[in-house]
Amino acid sequence: MSSTAETATHHLALQVEDLHVSYGPKRAVDGVSLEINEGEIFGLLGPNGAGKTSTLSAIEGLLRPDSGSIRIGDVDAAANPTAAKARMGVQLQSTSFQSNLTIREIVRLYAGLYGVPLSRAEIEDLLADIHLGEEASKRFSQLSGGQQKRVSLLIATIHNPPLVLLDEPTAGLDPQARRQLWHRIERLRDTGRSILLTTHSMEEAQAVDHGKLLTVDTPAGLIEKHKDDPRVRKVAHGQVTLDDVFIGLTGSELRD
């Protein structure tokens, strides 16, 4: 979904055009194009293996695309990857940090990597802000899943990037932790950041299948656009929901 489609000024935070990514003979992303405006949360929704993480990895610079272009703001990511990476914050699907470092040291390391010198007091303040002031001396592996996600999000945004990429940020979280995290994501959006996230949650995203962008709209728009699609009608029980649109468009069979 594109939850802020009505953004007044359309400065692009991210522009992806005709992106193709392959793993050997297997095509993971097939001609994806998307644009994200400033202050917009843009979700990529799709079943496992649909190419969401591959799309994100190409934008993050972890994968070299076969073809296509990626612009982060006004920076061409292929021509200037360092400048592009400085303009984005990333939370990977499964994040880990050096096991012998404390949370405080991890924050200090990543602040340094993004060129944001932070004093010990500033780091303590940042950790207190995410309710982890007491955990500053712990190792990352000693934190709960929700606490780990909060640290990851803090590090992804430590340099106030215009674009934040979140790969399944709410996966594995209980409802309270999920709500807290969404509150933080919305706060980011409200301060002008653009957010691209992948998710399995119906309320959060676009529909992507096999690396091909199938449809782009708000959740209500998606339902309206596809409620009469025979594939959607076939799986709907009564009133069409976003779940029905998702399953109808991407198929109901299980994926790896």
Partner 1 sequence: MSSQTSAPPVHPPTLSGILRALLEADFTVQLRNGRALTLTFLLPLVLLYGLSAGKRRAQLGGPIVDVALALTLGIASIAILGYTASVARDRELGVFQRLRVTPAPTWTIMLSRLAVQIVSMLVMSVVVLVAAAVVENVTLDPAAYLLTLLAVIFSSAVFLGVGQALVGLIKSPDAVNAVGRLSYLPLFALGLFAHSTIFGTTFETIARWSPGGAVVTLLAGAMQPAAWSADTWWALLASVFYAVVFAGIGIRWFQWSTR
Query: How far, in Å, CA of 103 to CA of 116, rounded?
Result: 17
Which of 133, 145, 172, 192 is in the footprint of partner 1 by CB under 8 A? 192
Q: Which is nearer to partner 1, 23 or 228 (CB)?
A: 23
Residue 119 lies near partner 1 (rule: CB under 8 A): no
Residue 190 has a CB neighbour count (10 Å cut-off) of 10
Tell me how far, at minimum, the Cβ of 6 lies from partner 1, in Å: 6
Q: Which is nearer to partner 1, 195 or 247 (CB)?
A: 195
Q: Which stretch binds partner 1 (CB under 8 A): 159-167, 176-184, 205-213, 229-237?
A: 159-167
Strands of 26-37's sheet in order across: 26-37, 12-23, 67-72, 75-76
The contact mask relative to partner 1 for 132-151 (x = CB under 8 A, - = no) is --------------------
Q: Output the six-digit token pair for 147.
A: 């606490």
Q: Which residue has the tokens 């040291």?
A: 105
8-state DSSP, 11: -
Which of 61, 68, 221, 251 is in the footprint of partner 1 by CB under 8 A? 61
Which of 12, 109, 130, 177 is in the footprint of partner 1 by CB under 8 A? 109
Residue 95 has a CB neighbour count (10 Å cut-off) of 16
Q: Outline where the chain has alpha helix (H).
A: 52-60, 81-86, 103-113, 120-129, 145-156, 175-190, 219-226, 230-235, 242-250
Residue 190 lies near partner 1 (rule: CB under 8 A): yes
Q: Which is nearer to partner 1, 163 or 232 (CB)?
A: 163
Which residues, listed in sequence order, are joined to residue 37 by a DSSP beta bridge? Answer: 12
Would you tell me which residues interact with partner 1 (CB under 8 A)? 3-4, 6-8, 13, 38-40, 60-62, 82-83, 85-88, 90, 92, 94-101, 105, 108-117, 159-162, 189-194
